[in-house]
Chains A and B, each alone.
Chain A
Amino acid sequence: MTQPDSPKRRSVSFRLARLLLQVTGAALSFLLLLAVTLTIFGLKAKTALPAIADGAFGGWQYGHLYALSETFVEAVPLILTGLGVLVAWQAGMFSIGGEGQLLIGALAAMTVYRFTGSLPAPMVTLLMIAASVAGGALWGGIAGWLRTARNVQEVISTIMLNYIALYLVGAAVLGPLQEPSHSGPETALLPDPVLFAHILPATWTGGITARLHTGVLIALAAVPITAVWLYRTRSGFALRLTGHNADAARTAGFSIARVRITAMIFSGALCGLAGSVQLLGVSARLDQQFSPGWGYSAIPVALMGGLTPGGTLLSAIFFGALTAGTNSAERTVGVPSVVADVLLAAAVIAVVGFRAWRGRSQLATGGD
């Protein structure tokens, strides 16, 4: 992960100061953007901003731990799907399929539950997680195979596979997986022993159980594992090389087809895992609206994170905080929660635009 020495290497203190300046600038412009967006929605930034901060970090109506728990609960699916996206994109596979892979993961887990529900609870949970990983990997692998064997662009095939997954879930929750009374288009709630445990004792969060669940450990563990694979193994190197320059990778003796399929399988597995983590951690039931677009938000999250595992972790937590904050501010002061979506999109445009501008200025000055 070390940078190659550039011709004009600046001193550490200069680089540190520059980084600080950039972060402060980004934070300030984000706050400005947030305030402007709120004003457009006809809200007073003076009341809305503290309400959003309260929902994300606590300190006013909520305790800090409760609010931070919400932030991480919202961040967990974004971390896993964000990692999935960056693995595929680093391999040069512009997969939009996180959403479908996530849904297939949840569907596979729910199907396994249907058949193994009578086994001991930890075993059922384990099988459900395994099924979701396998389901997501299969869904990603299909897109990878279509690209390598049939030259179907993954941008198209993954979007189509998203729809297939969505309608498969729709058919399942009106058919074999529907709740016993057959009145709603949804599965029954999973029983408590199967679900992920809540981490924080209720007494720490004012007597109300915070939603933070053990799935956050899976998400946090996935970050270093992905990082080590990408940057410290031969196949990770092959993956990144293929993404940068497929011809060079081929010349170096790597099988491009194999690398691409592997990347899509790994990416799908992570997104599928996100499906079972959400199912077992927060939703406890499956229906067609299971995902509010986690698999799609993953793309801006990964882009904001610079397509690196560490960056994706930070940007997922950032958007988790924003989502938790606006969700809560809608309840307390009536901020529409779509503000989070508007800001997510605006932030991505800002980041991508900044990169492009910096890339051009670097070309012009010939260095970092």
Chain B
Amino acid sequence: MNSQASKGLVLNIQHFCTNDGPGIRTTVFLKFCGLRCKWCCNPESIGQKPELAYNINKCIGKKACGRCLQPPAPEGAMYVLDGSDDRIHINWDLAHGCGEETTSLCPTGALYLFGKEMTVNDVLKEVEQDGTFYRESGGGITLSGGECLLQPDFSAAILAEAHQRGINTAIETAGNVPWEFMEKVLPHVDTVLHDHKLTDPVRHKKWAGADNKRILENFKKAYETFPDKTFVARTPVIPGVNDDEEHIRSVLAFIRPHKNVVDYQLLPYHRYGEPKYRFLGKVYELEDFTPPPPEKMDHLRAIIDESFGRTAPGTTG
């Protein structure tokens, strides 16, 4: 294992996941993403470096502490408002780039960093705790993000090691990476969960930050290059953005010629990630969006079921 592969930036390790591939799985979230989907529920995963976050509920205030109001914290980055509440506030424009030198000032964990460097062994040690569940349920490890393929050496090393230890592997990817990254990781993957967010490249750029030309090229090439892998297409269904039949049918037209794409799952929009935007000083742009109604999801899933030759609605995902 080379040094580049041995360490990576991990955001979180989540146990007992049931929607990230077959069986009960442990999902490892890696940092860094090349898209900016407006509905992103993991905004803490986007940056390439550890990111400052702040939970005011854990702050004990200037009188009791106040350590972050002094250097090495940047001037003006932290402040206290007039009034009886002396807890710290963050000026996110001036706090940009704050790292461990700042968060280490905070004794209560109100200031913290999203993202921690880990080794492959660190990750596998945590993942293997759930080995019994994998064997019983047919589960395993799933790499997610962010975009796990943006740490290709680290991802490939984790997945190769997991295979060595007899653990089933999956990844969740949006595919906006150079083909070489995908080519490096996919040999070690059993199941590829991949996103088709929008069909039209201009609209894809508007809602996800970059167009989907390379994404579609990558997926097509992946289907053909790795015929023994299992692919599952997925779409996060965002009301008024991609909840139309046209998008669903165009994705079906793209995937159905490839027999190794075994399913197409729809993930209804949710707002669980919204509070995290506040903790990161970011703005949640879809302020007034609401989840799609179940009837709409059933209707769209019925189209998929029909295409896959399934009769009962709601069996896809």
Task: Tell me, yes or no, whether A binds B.
Answer: no
